[in-house]
Structure 1
Amino acid sequence: MLKVKIPTYDRLMNPVIQALQILGGSGTIDEIDNKATEVIGLSDEQLEVLHDEKGGQTEVAYRLAWARTYLKKFGILENSARGVWALTPQGTRAETIDEKEVVQFVREKLKNGRQTVDEEKIGESGIEQSWRDELLQTLLKMDATAFERLIKRMLRESGFIQVEVTGRSGDRGIDGKGIMRLSGLLSFHVIFQCKRYRDSVTPNLVRDFRGAMVGRADKGLFITTGTFTKEAIREATRDGAPAIDLIDGEQLMDKLKELGLGVQTEKVQVEEVTIDEGWFLSI
């Protein structure tokens, strides 16, 4: 049982709509989640609660995913294959919705249709946790050297060149470096740090990493299997300081899936049979 009180998924529906309105009608999952939590005013303590002991996803992110799913079924939201969610014309017209009406509508739809709630979980963005849980546990079982090699491979597959793992004691958390080429014209020297964490990365780790990168690279990249606290995210983009890009466990797993690194995706076609009662009656 959760000790920290967190809004239920239905209570998060209107904040999701408000977040998309503020974002101009569309946004990525991260953008929507961050803006929705700002709208509600959730504390760091609430944002850092993990969904389960396996880690990898926070309870707030899990409930926001359910909120998006219900709003999609109700016709308020739509999402693309690229993971961008947007307000539908109906959603654009709706300033707020009745959460109870949405829940009742969706549950009746599932009850009357061929899908069960368990089947509905499969395939909805942010909800299918089975492969994520398995992948996260696999990553956590890797030794530090193997995990660094994986990150090195991922960066190369993402367009980095001259990637090296340089982690050594006394290097203040720097695990490697590389060069990111953009369109074959521009290049940025990047240093990275990768941590196999179940818990959240705190701002002091981000500060230490920045201190190590100053004067040595154009950009910093901090990768973790866990999450980042709200303060750590603020520290990474603090005004007047070199910006550090953050990749949390969810983003890391999505990237491995996208690149096909140890994650194979197979599209399964499902045959749907519809009976045309009118045809039989008119024959």
Structure 2
Amino acid sequence: MVKKSKFPDVPQVNELVRPTVQALLSLGGSGTNQEINDKVYEITQLSDDVLNIPHSTDGRTQIDYRLAWARTRLKLIGLVENSSRGVWTLTKPNLNINDYDFELIQQSFDKKRRKSRDKLKINSEATAPFELADEENPNVPDWKEILLNKLYTIRSDAFERLSQQILRESGFIQVEVTGKTGDGGIDGKGIVRISGLLSFHIVFQCKRFKGSVTPSQVRDFRGAMQGRTDKGIILTTGTFTREARKEATREGAYHIDLIDGNLLCEKLKDLSLGVKTKFVEEVIVENDWFDSL
């Protein structure tokens, strides 16, 4: 019996594979996570209500979570590759999308997943990529969910200090937490220096919650920035609505950089702030090799 989806209006992962390829083609063969997601939103023409459905507590929306798995599927069957800088690239930039049977792609993915689970049974200490937390294993939390759940428990001033440290470790200087009341939501300030020559003053706002930042909150923060800084950053453990992202980059207004819960987790991992990466040796018994003797 086919299991009913908890979010029937959100396309399943297998339904997002083809739009993901279409998005990459329209972007010239490569794109960042957000560029690909935004282009898929256009292609699928999903409503804003659907686009803003949160995924559990891992800092992403449900559609973005499934799009991440769509990219993973394409990578596993060799159609895309990704760099350490988070850029996804088609392995065949001039491919004709009509030459690909995405039903067969789904079958190929299922075959690789079964093999991965077989390896896991052989070596219980191995970590198979499909067992981390996908749409078929919703009860298995991934590291981002665990990390965000921890961040929800710390005090607001601790989250401000963490944001300060993230900016410092990322190359910002003179980073201060101001935390003044009635300061229009500005929690801190700093300076970013480019190539040792140019410098820009920045202010930042910290939002430690599970919800979505709205466009009105972005506008309020921009209002507080006026005449006081060159750039603004909002860091949140939650998400940004699509309208908030549009507002942050609205033409003719101060552009504001947005760091959502998902990107926040990635930054903490990259900077080794409260997150350690452990490489585990995986030993695989090749049954086919012994059968060929």
Moved more, 215-224 or 104-113: 104-113
- 1:4 and 1:271 mapped to 2: Cα distance? 39
Of residues 249, 262, 284 in structure 2, which corresponds to 1:272?
A: 284
CA distance in 1, matches of 2:133, 2:35: 18
Indicate conservation of the 8 Å contact 1:110/1:116, yes or no: no
Distance 1:138 1:111, change over 3 A: closer
Contact 2:119–2:284 at 8 Å: present in 1 too?
Answer: no
Structure-1 residue corresponding to 2:128: 119
Q: 1:188: which partner in 2?
A: 200
Q: Is 178-187 or 116-125 further displaced after alignment?
A: 116-125
Distance 1:276 1:193 in 2: 56
Distance across 2 between alignment mates of 1:101 and 1:200: 37
1:262 aligns with 2:274: yes
Report the Cα distance in structure 2 between the residues aligned to 1:280 and 1:140, rounded to whole angstroms: 54
- What code does the residue aligned with 2:236 have? T
Contact 1:69/1:124 (CA < 8 Å) preserved in 2? Answer: no
Structure 1 residue 178 and structure 2 residue 190: aligned?
Answer: yes
> What do residues 159-200 of structure 1 show as CA deviations (whole Å, max 9, x unaligned)?
111111112221110000000111211100000001012011
| Post-superposition offset of 1:75 | 2.2
Q: Which residue of 2 aligns with 1:102?
A: 105
Shift of 1:269: 2.3
TM-score by length of structure 2 reads 0.87
Pair 158,129 (structure 1): closer, same or farther in 2 beyond 3 Å: farther
Q: What residue in structure 1 maps to residue 124 of structure 2? A: none
What SS class does the counterpart of residue 252 from structure 2 fall into? coil
Using the aligned pairs only, state the percent identity. Answer: 50
Match of 1:21?
A: 25
TM-score, length-normalised on structure 1?
Answer: 0.90
Number of the residue aligned with 2:150: 138
Deviation at 1:116, TM superposition (A): 6.1
Report Cα offsets for 1:39-80 as digits up to 9, x if no partner: 21122211111122x251211011112211222222211222
- Superposed CA offset, 1:228-253 (max 9, x none): 11111111111111111111111111
The alignment partner of 1:93 has SS state of coil
For 2:190 and 2:111, locate their aligned partners in 1 and report how far apart those are by CA, in whole Å: 53
What is the match of residue 91 of structure 2?
A: 88
In the alignment, the residues of structure 1 paired with residue 232 and residue 68 of structure 2 have an alpha-carbon distance, to the nearest angstrom, of: 29
Contact 2:184-2:221 at 8 Å conserved across structures = yes
SS of 1:45's partner is helix
Aligned with residue 43 of structure 1, among 44, 47, 50:
47
Equivalent residue of 1:233, what SS?
helix
Partner amino acid for 2:74? L
Match of residue 243, structure 1, among 245, 255, 258: 255
Q: Which residue identity does 1:93 align to in structure 2?
A: L
SS in 2 for 1:189: strand
Tell me how large the CA RMSD over aligned residues is: 2.7
For 2:88, what is the secondary structure of its paired residue?
Answer: strand
Q: Distance in 2 between matches of 1:173 and 1:25?
A: 39
Deviation at 1:119, TM superposition (A): 2.2
Structure 2 distance, partners of 1:153, 1:263, is 14
Aligned residues: 279
Structure 1 alignment gaps of length 5 or more: none
Are positions 1:63 and 2:70 aligned together?
A: no
